Amino acid sequence: MRSGLFAILCLALIGCDEPPLDYTEVKRIDEVVTDSELDAFLAIASKLPGGKLPPDFNPFLPPPDWSPDRTLPVFELVEDELKRQEARWSPERMARTLPDARQLERLLRRYRLTREQFTSLGLVLGTTFSAENLPPARNLGATLKQGEPILRQLRADRRLFATLSDDEAYQTLLKAGWISLFERVQRLQRVIPANRELVRRRRDELAAVLPVEFNRDPLANFAYLLDQTGLPFTEQPESGHDDDITWTPESSSSPANRPAAVPKADE
């Protein structure tokens, strides 16, 4: 009798708090997701508006598109973009894309998850799902090595972006595409086999709740950087060093030889 009365009072009084969560750490890309965690994620995501995660639940930023009148030096623009890329993958930012809805809060309490834990699961599963869409021949380690000297060059560039000629600005922006590409590859490289196997087994269920950006080759929009024939970089004879790679004027000055544009990839 007393226990029943206590339960009623707990429902009526604000003072009866929810039991504390067992832990509040968020899931990393290289941590195993269990079937039970996937079950909880799917149960919550399927009850969101539209039956899936919102379109803003997308960590993939397009290449930088700096305005010609930016007066900062190139290296500062690069550092700002790197910070923006890092923040884009934050579970805290992703949590803000979720609706403020009582049903969502009830489901999170039911499965004993914080918003950030739920969105970190979405990031792990979404990134793993993306990795499954990579071409089999794609070597992520080799791609990182390909981009490292270009990023070093950009981070050492003290020129004010606004003072660059049209051609110099164009070439710099093309190289800056490696900032977004490099970030994606680093994340994809951390995907672990156990999570790949889980995603393969339950691919259809995940496809139903993930934004479309996760269900495509995550590097497809960067073919203009990854395809050697589309990268007319030449080493200056006097430099003899990878950090001094520049764009050949012949390949960039003629509109017929230029890539169509810096792609506006999946924002």
Q: What is the pLDDT of residues 113-126, one digit of tens each?
A: 999 999 999 999 99
pLDDT score of 101: 87
Can you give the pLDDT at residue 20? 62
Q: Quick check: 220 and 214 in contact, CB under 8 A?
A: no
Residue 245 or 100, more confident = 100
Residue among 73, 119, 66 nearest 97 (CA): 119
Cβ–Cβ < 8 Å for 68, 162: yes
Residue 258 has pLDDT above 50, yes or no: no
pLDDT band at 107 (very low <50, low <70, confident <90, very high): very high
111 pLDDT above the threshold of 70: yes
Comparing CA positions, the residue from 18, 38, 27, 25 lying closest to residue 110 is: 18
pTM of the model: 0.77
Spatial CA neighbour of 93 closest among 125, 71, 115? 115
pLDDT digits (tens, 9 = 90+) for 201-242: 999 999 999 999 999 999 999 999 987 534 434 344 444 444
Provide the pLDDT for residue 21.
58
Residues 62 and 177: their CA atoms lie apart, in Å, by 8
3-state secondary structure string across the chain? CHHHHHHHHHHHCCCCCCCCCCCCCCCCCCCCCCHHHHHHHHHHHCCCHHHCCCCCCCCCCCCCCCCCCCCCEHHHHHHHHHHHHHHHCCHHHHHCCCCCCHHHHHHHHHCCCCHHHHHHHHHHHHHHHHHCCCCCCCCHHHHHHHHHHHHHHHHCCCCEHHHCCHHHHHHHHHHHHHHHHHHHHHHHHCCCHHHHHHHHHCHHHHHHHCCHHHCCCCCHHHHHHHCHHHCCEEECCCCCCHHHEEECHHHHHCHHHCCCCCCCCCC
Q: What distance in Å separates the CA atoms of residue 243 and residue 148, rounded to the nearest whole number?
A: 9
Residue 230: per-residue pLDDT = 40
The angle at the Cα of 245, spanning 240 to 251, to the nearest 5 degrees, equals 125
In this prediction, residue 82 carries a pLDDT of 96
- Give yes or no for residue 199 having a pLDDT over 50: yes
Q: Could you tell me what percent of the chain has a pLDDT over 70?
A: 76
The confidence score (pLDDT) of residue 24 equals 78
Q: Tell me the sheet residues that pair with 246.
A: 234
